[in-house]
Amino acid sequence: MLAHSPISSVLGISTIVLCLVLPSPHGWSASFTSETSEDPLQQESSLSDLVPRDTVITLTLKEAVLHALENNLDISVSRHTRNIRVTDIVFQQAQFDPTVQLNGRYDRTVSPLNRPVFGFGGVPLGSDPAKFDQNDTHFSLALNQKLLTGGTYDLTFDTNRNSVAGPNAFLFNPSYGSNLLFNLTQPLLRNFGSSVNGTLIVLARNAAAIEYLGFLLQVQTVISQIEQAYWELVFTRENLKVAQATLRAAEELLASNRAKVKAGIMADVEALQAQAGVAGRVEQVLIAQKAVEDQEDQLRRLLNHREDHLVQTTPIVPMDNPQHDYEAAHLPSTIHSALNNRPEILQAKKNLESAGAQTQFAKNQLLPDLSFQGGIGLGGLGNNPRDSWDRLGSTNYYNMGGGLVLSYPLGNRSAESQYKRRILEAQQNQTLLQRMRQQVILDVKEAARRVQTNYKRIRTTQTARTLSERQLKAEQERLNLGLTTTRNVLQFQGDLAEAKGKELRAILDYNQALSNLRLVSASSFDHYDITIK
């Protein structure tokens, strides 16, 4: 609390005893008691709504900021978007996960024979053909995976049981066969290497990082919006006090004029002018009260995500006094901090990084497609599964082979056009980053100038308000001596109210300028000791 706040010195602070109940995690709940002195405005039945109610919500600026970070809808939307992008990383990484496949199959084939085969005897001429009755049971277990190097492999183990009904000349009937096969395909030029095949993962990570930075930007923006709305509510409330004080001054002038008219030392027209002045001041109070309620709704919208909170009419009472001491900012260090921490700059860097990854991938696609393809396998056969597996493990029965496959599209115009496109996009992103850095520098300089200008306005408007007070006092003394008119006094009262309003506006503009400087320099989190996990 500032001991010598200009607002307090100009307007005074109403005596209100408030019991604070902090906002609950699920919404606002407040139960307050207030004691107010008799308000002169309550004598006007049309102004009964201006009398403070028994229930109010008190709120410090930091409480407002923290409450908004939990409940603001814009932050919630940005948080969901960020989480969606994170799932894209897992999706791209999953392209390199191994796959297991298990197959089981049974087949029986009964086919007619036109001639002896496999030891079957012939059949008499004109009779039905002999039957070839074969049963086959097959199981296989396979593992395949795409490698980050660009290759693919599959490892398969299969076993089968085969039997043929009737007399035959097979060595084993039924027979059990087993095979273990490994095949590998590996690019050697195009699509070779983890840097090429991990491009989509890099892009997904950068996209998630960009969304996270967008989330941070949204949080900082909401903090700034809360600060702006909070100080705007402070201004409208203090401006209402100015309007009420001006109304009281007009009422006192009316009472004084009526007494003088009754005493016969003042003309009736002076009382009528004072009465007209009171009516005009009542209108200003009503307009100021509406502005307060409008600003309370704006703050409610930023603080809450539930509609039932927006229909509330409970007054919101800001508890923090605005700062009016000059807060000097070292411009070079502020610019340096902004260039290193502004989410927009970091997003532009991530976009440039993604463009570089895409350029490297496109460059790799210019190479010929040269791949190694090879495989090796073991086999086993027996009259029972154990014999089949023993022969498989003996490595006496095997197959192996491999070779190179080369392909290259004549002209390769598609890959060349994509490579040129990626180079241009990378150059574009580099230019965008440079433009963004320049804009950030200008934003910081403009925000710093706004702070300085609004601080100087405070001193200037204070002087103007002091002079208006002296002018009004002098004019009131002239009225008491009969040297001026009520109209002139009312005019000076209006001038004083306008001067007070300008002083208030300068003070609140200064605080809003400090908020804007924190936004453009990305220092809001440090100011409130906020950590984003």
- Cβ of 153: how many Cβ atoms within 10 Å? 16
CATH number at residue 342: 1.20.1600.10
- Cβ of 293: how many Cβ atoms within 10 Å? 14
Q: Quick check: is 182 in a domain?
A: no
The SS3 assignment for 135 reads strand
What does the alpha-carbon distance between residue 145 and residue 277 come to, in Å, rounded to a whole number? 87
What does the alpha-carbon distance between residue 533 and residue 63 come to, in Å, rounded to a whole number? 19
**Which pairing describes strands 369-382 and 99-113: parallel, antiparallel, or unpaired?**
unpaired
Contact by Cβ (8 Å): 493, 474: no
The amino acid that residue 148 corresponds to is L
Provide CB contacts within 8 A for 309, sequence distance 6+. 27, 28, 300, 303
DSSP 38: P
**Which residue in this structure is represented by tokens 């590996």?**
186
DSSP string of 102-114, one letter each residue: EEEEEEEEEEEES
Which one, of 205, 3, 224, lies nearest residue 93 by Cα?
A: 205
Helix (H) or strand (E) holding 152, with range, is: strand 152-164
Retrieve residue 73's tokens: 């809808």
Which one, of 459, 493, 487, 454, lies nearest residue 473 by Cα?
A: 493
Contact by Cβ (8 Å): 377, 180: yes
Contact by Cβ (8 Å): 36, 15: yes
Q: Quick check: is 97 in a domain?
A: no
What does the alpha-carbon distance between residue 483 and residue 266 come to, in Å, rounded to a whole number? 12
Q: Quick check: is 474 in a domain?
A: yes
What does the alpha-carbon distance between residue 472 and residue 469 come to, in Å, rounded to a whole number? 5
CA end-to-end span of the chain: 32
The amino acid that residue 60 corresponds to is T
The structural domain count of the chain equals 1
Tens-level pLDDT at each residue, the chain (533 residues): 333 333 333 333 232 222 223 333 333 333 223 333 333 333 333 333 443 445 888 999 999 999 888 887 788 888 888 888 889 999 999 999 999 999 999 999 888 876 554 444 555 555 667 777 889 999 999 999 999 999 999 999 999 999 888 666 677 888 999 999 999 999 999 999 999 999 999 999 999 999 999 989 999 999 999 999 999 999 999 999 999 999 999 999 899 889 989 988 888 898 999 999 999 999 999 999 999 999 999 999 888 767 777 888 889 999 999 998 898 888 999 999 999 999 999 999 999 999 999 999 999 999 999 999 999 999 999 889 898 998 889 989 999 999 999 999 988 899 999 999 999 999 999 999 999 999 999 999 999 999 999 999 999 999 999 999 999 999 989 988 888 888 899 999 999 999 999 999 999 999 999 999 999 999 999 998 888 77
Helices (H) and strands (E) counted in the chain, each on its own, are 13, 8
pLDDT, residue 169, reads 65
- Residue 522's domain comprises 6-71+203-352+428-528
Q: Quick check: is 198 in a domain?
A: no
DSSP 192: -
The amino acid that residue 39 corresponds to is D
Q: Quick check: is 195 in a domain?
A: no
The count of C-alpha atoms lying within 13 angstroms of the C-alpha of 87, restricted to the half-sphere facing its C-beta, is: 5
φ, ψ dihedrals at 173, nearest 5° = -150, 105
**Which pairing describes strands 152-164 and 316-318: parallel, antiparallel, or unpaired?**
unpaired
Q: Quick check: is 240 in a domain?
A: yes
The SS3 assignment for 178 reads strand
Q: Quick check: is 247 in a domain?
A: yes
Q: What is the CA radius of gyration of the chain?
A: 43
Q: Quick check: is 345 in a domain?
A: yes
Retrieve residue 464's tokens: 């103007």
Would you call 41 exposed, middle or buried from its count of C-beta atoms within 10 A (0-12, 13-18, 19+)?
buried
The SS3 assignment for 131 reads strand
What does the alpha-carbon distance between residue 388 and residue 379 come to, in Å, rounded to a whole number? 8
- Write the secondary structure of 316-379 as one string of H (helix), E (strand) and C (coil): EEECCCCCCCCCCCCHHHHHHHHHHHCHHHHHHHHHHHHHHHHHHHHHHCCCCEEEEEEEEEEE
